Structure 1
Amino acid sequence: MDLEQPARRRRGAELENALLDAAWEQLTQGGYAAFTIDAVAERAGTSKPVVYRRWADKHELLRAAVRHVSDRTIRPAPDTGSLRGDLIEQLVYASRHRLNLAAMLMVHLGGYFEESGTSPADLRELLLGGSRSRTEEAVERAVARGEVDPDRLTPRIIDLPFALFRHEAMMTLKPVPEEVAAEIVDTIFLPLVRPLP
């Protein structure tokens, strides 16, 4: 007699990861219009109350899913010994490993931003989690080494390499070549922050 084995009950981190994976799959395969607690619960093979015990609504669930997926592609800031090396390595890594995530979010989250009254900048803050960006870490080390004049720094100037990188990626819809990353750093950013003679 062949008896069917009962489904193994998931708990704790295993269950939460399964729910967040299901939420991300629902978003990327169905778009925001099809992103509902019902759909995520069904995809995860569980019930709505299980989802609602962790997230109050679909906006909270979506933000948690985006953070969950983003965390998989984050790595410690490189320390090559020079600001130029650090920034180029960061831009090249972002182009190879995080550009698809950013494109996916822009394609699928228009409805979310409109419905929630938030913006991509709010989502970026969520992903940073109140911590310093990798660029800020690199610039801080460069100041300590004497490569950068701290009086020439502003938040907008520190963000400039990635702002130009994002613009390039959005305008071309392609990975940003390493030579373009080097051009952004060498001809635009470094001249703005190096100590004046």
Structure 2
Amino acid sequence: MEAGPKLDPDREQAILGATLELLAEGGYDALRLDAVATRAKASKATLYRHWPGKADLVVAAIKCFEQADLSRNTDTGSLRGDLIATLRGVRELMTGPTGQIMSGLLVAVQKDAELAEAVRTSMLEDKEQVTQRMLDRAVARGELPADTDPTIFPEIAPALLFMRIFVYGSAVDDGYLDHLTDDILIPLMARRFGD
């Protein structure tokens, strides 16, 4: 998505860090590229050269500073282990500073088509690839049927964690992650289409 020569890593970190700081302070609607440029001690032209718009910059900032690198290949040797490891990463993300920003972005996504498109085509595609790799490994090990619905994990797990953390204000301890994995996710994923 970057359109110009590669930015110096320190300069990029300054810009993306300033973006997150301003998001945390005022939310997506109030975020202005000139304010990001001022805080990062960069020119507005530099921002536009590397990120075509505000939505692209915000997505890049969130992806860069996610506390849990959910795009890494977490292969624990079992489906259950992979699910627990991934859920722990999602928990860390949602309960950290980036989680607060992302919860605020949910409102903005409903009102801003450009942001919604950037989130769908960038951040969600990354998560779908992680899920598909996890499913492919489980199918190869014989833990899941080949026709396992690939939408179960990305639709159910984040939704339940989001509700528990942001709506109910309840803790998401390892016991809850075990319950989510053993009693909900694995049984649903192990079902064959049409059962």
TM-score (norm. length: structure 2)? 0.76
Matched, 1:155 2:150: yes
Q: Give the 3 Å change call, closer, same or farther, for CA 175–93 of structure 1 in structure 2.
A: farther
> For residue 143 of structure 1, what is the amino acid of its counterpart?
V
Q: Compute the RMSD of aligned alpha carbons.
A: 2.8
Q: Give the 3 Å change call, closer, same or farther, for CA 173–123 of structure 1 in structure 2.
A: farther
Partner of 1:104: 101
Partner of 1:74: 69
CA distance in 2, matches of 1:91, 1:109: 20
Gaps in structure 2 of 5+ consecutive residues: 1-6
Once the two structures are superposed, the pairs formed by residues 107-186 of structure 1 within 5 Å of their partners are 107-108=104-105, 110-111=107-108, 113-116=110-113, 118-119=115-116, 123=119, 125-129=121-125, 132-151=128-147, 153-159=148-154, 160-186=156-182
CA distance in 1, matches of 2:32, 2:150: 37
CA contact (8 A) 2:74 2:85 kept: yes
* Greater mean alpha carbon deviation, residues 108-117 or residues 181-190: 108-117
TM-score (norm. length: structure 1)? 0.75
Gaps in structure 1 of 5+ consecutive residues: 1-10
CA contact (8 A) 1:28 1:104 kept: yes
Paired residues, what number?
A: 183
The structure with the largest alpha-carbon Rg is 1
Q: Give the 3 Å change call, closer, same or farther, for CA 114–180 of structure 1 in structure 2.
A: same
CA contact (8 A) 2:15 2:37 kept: yes
> For residue 48 of structure 2, what is the amino acid of its counterpart?
Y
Once the two structures are superposed, the pairs formed by residues 1-80 of structure 1 within 5 Å of their partners are 12-70=8-66, 73-74=68-69, 76-80=72-76
Residue identity over aligned pairs, in percent, reads 31
